[in-house]
Structure formats: C-alpha cells, structure tokens
C-alpha cells in the first residue's frame, strides 16, 4: 500500500506481478491482494493457486492511470492469435467457484496447513518458518500461511538434494528449494491424505538424512554482492556481440545472458550487469550441489556468455 501511495503521488501506475496470489481476495486471513492495496494493474496466474488450466493468467485493472484500450493492445501484441477456449472456461469456472465457495474452501485449507505446520515442526532437524521470521519493519508486509517453509540446514544438506530425494522416494514435488530450505505449497485442493503423505515423507527423510548430505556447501554471498551493477541496457547486451568464456574468466565481464537459479526462478544475473566472483561462485557451487540454472547457454555454468570486449 505504501508503494502504491508513492507511485500515485507522482502520477505513476503501480503494476504488480502477483503470480501466486489468485486466492488472496477470498479469505480474510490471507494477505491483502494487490488491488486492495492500491495497485493499478495486477497480473495473476490462476493456474498456480486457483482451479484453472496451465497458462491461465489474467489482468486486473482499476483507476485511470492505465487506459483499458492501451493494456488490451499491449496484450494483443504479445498474446497468441489462437487462444484456447478451455482456458477461458476454466477461468470462468474458478471465478464462480470462489464467489460461491471460496471462503469455506480456504477455511479448510488454512486449518489443514496450520495442523500440518505443527506436525512438521515436530520432525527432528526441521524448523518451520512463520510470519515472525519474514514480516515486520524492513521485511515483508505479510506471509501466505499456505506456504510451509522449512529450514533444514541442521541436516547438513541442501534443499535441492532434499527435494530430489522426496521426489524419487515418495513422488512428492515440493514448491521451491534453495541452499538450505524447502517449501511445500498447500492449496484448497489438499486434504488429509496429501498432508499425511507430506508428513510421512519428511519424517522418513529426517531418519535417512545421512543419505542426502552433500559435503558441497553452496557459497552464498551477502546481499550486497548479489546486487550487481547494471552497466548496459539488457537489450544491447543480449543482442550485441558476445562470446562464451569460462566461469572463472567471467569475473568483471558484462553478462549477455540471464542466469536464474530455479527454484525459486528469480534471476541472479540479467544481461547488461557486470559479473563478480561472488555471484559466479554462488552459481557454480550451487549447480554442483543440485541447483538448476535452466536459462543459461551452459546450464552447468562452467562457462558464461558475456559481451565481447571492443
């Protein structure tokens, strides 16, 4: 809301990517969704936290800072000329379901997530994060309680290896994982059976934690060195003259590609930024520990695409 106020004071629209927030308007115990916080445009991926088919995303628009015809023309420029009618039907079905049953569905979902969080907290070596860890002055405004975020650093392994183990041994796909955490995303579609499967899988993983100890710590740099200097426009770096160099030799060079650890899918490097050794070591040791960098030309990050000197 404070960001919206700053933008509007200057006559600028606030556009929010709320990909995982399709459910937020439908229960008072969920965080405030972007439009109620004053955003002008909000993009919501209904296929993530709603009952819609893959690729079903929508724009929400309010106020007079973005004209509807302009938004429509921009979408038409990038969208397909052959939209799938099943997607529109699924979106309408989701909207009807939420209007009629949304609060009751999320009453159940929130209660189940709370009980599951309590049970997971009792598993040896797992610390379940809550609002107190992430919310407050200088941090996030709120946290979605349907996300069960777990710190497993006491197991001396990475979230990447833990996620791979759960997929291989229990057919459980976690939401995200990083160098020391895993996260399970609960939804209105979960029930006692899926919650029990998660608890059982995590319990067995705790008992067999020695199997996932990697001995390869991820060299995570401080936030100050993760924020790289932008020295070229991304378009100029990406479409300019480039070369592929070793990851060690990329220190100090200008990136010509995006390097995104996934999950969570947030770029560590975008084209036009000047690379440094800390970020490069983070990516390289991360891949060795199980991190995936799918958008790199060399997904093993043994080499990096950079702007050609001169």
CA neighbor of 126 nearest in space, from 217, 223, 202: 202
pLDDT of 167 > 80? The answer is yes
Q: Which of 61, 40, 51, 50 is nearest to 19 (CA)?
A: 50
- Burial string for 223-257 (b: 16+ CB within 10 Å, else e) reads eeeeebeeebeeeebbeeebeebebeebbebbbbb
Secondary structure (DSSP) of 46-84: HHHHSS--TT-EEEEE-SSSS-HHHHHHHHHHHS-SS--
Return the pLDDT at 78: 85
pLDDT at 185 over 80: yes
Q: How far is CA 284 from CA 16, 224, 279, in A?
A: 32, 19, 9
What was the pLDDT predicted at 112? 97
Q: Nearest CA to 250 among 261, 242, 238?
A: 242
Q: Which pLDDT belongs to residue 83?
A: 84
Which pLDDT score, from 0 to 100, does residue 215 have? 67
pLDDT by residue (tens digit) across 23-80? 999 999 999 999 999 999 999 999 999 989 998 999 999 999 999 999 999 988 988 8
204 Cβ neighbours under 8 A, 6+ residues apart: 169, 170
pTM for this entry: 0.86
Angle formed by the axes of helices 159-170 and 277-289, nearest 10°? 20
pLDDT score recorded for residue 110: 97
Q: Across the strands, what pairs with 254? A: 274
Domains present along the chain, CATH in parentheses: 2-91 (3.40.640.10), 102-212 (3.90.1150.10), 223-307 (3.90.100.10)
So what's the pLDDT on residue 73? 93
Predicted confidence (pLDDT) at residue 96 exceeds the cutoff of 80: yes
């Amino acid at each position: 809301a404070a960001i919206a106020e700053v933008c509007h004071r200057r006559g600028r629209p606030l556009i929010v990517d709320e990909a995982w927030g399709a459910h937020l308007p439908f229960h008072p115990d969920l965080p405030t969704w972007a439009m109620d916080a004053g955003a002008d445009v909000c993009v919501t991926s209904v296929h993530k936290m709603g009952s819609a088919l893959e690729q079903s995303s929508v724009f929400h628009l309010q106020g007079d800072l973005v004209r509807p015809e302009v938004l429509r023309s921009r979408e038409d420029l990038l969208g397909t000329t052959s939209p799938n009618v099943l997607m529109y039907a699924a979106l309408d079905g989701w909207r009807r379901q939420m209007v009629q049953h949304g609060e009751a569905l999320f009453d159940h979902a929130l209660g189940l997530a709370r009980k599951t969080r309590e049970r997971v907290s009792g598993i040896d070596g797992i610390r379940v994060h809550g609002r107190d860890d992430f919310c407050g002055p200088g941090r996030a405004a709120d946290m979605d309680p349907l996300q069960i975020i777990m710190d497993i650093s006491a197991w001396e392994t990475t979230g990447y290896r833990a996620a791979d183990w759960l997929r291989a041994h229990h057919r459980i796909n976690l939401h995200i994982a990083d160098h020391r955490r895993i996260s399970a995303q609960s939804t209105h579609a979960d029930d006692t059976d899926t919650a029990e499967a998660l608890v059982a899988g995590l319990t067995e993983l705790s008992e067999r934690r020695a199997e996932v100890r990697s001995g390869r710590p991820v060299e995570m740099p401080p936030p100050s060195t993760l924020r790289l200097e932008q020295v070229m426009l991304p378009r100029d770096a990406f479409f300019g003259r480039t070369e592929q160099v070793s990851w060690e030799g990329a220190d100090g060079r200008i990136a010509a590609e995006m390097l995104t650890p996934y999950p969570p899918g947030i770029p560590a490097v975008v084209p036009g930024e000047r690379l440094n050794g800390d970020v490069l070591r983070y990516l390289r040791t991360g891949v060795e520990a199980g991190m995936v960098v799918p958008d790199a030309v060399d997904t093993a990050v043994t080499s990096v695409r950079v702007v050609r000197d001169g």
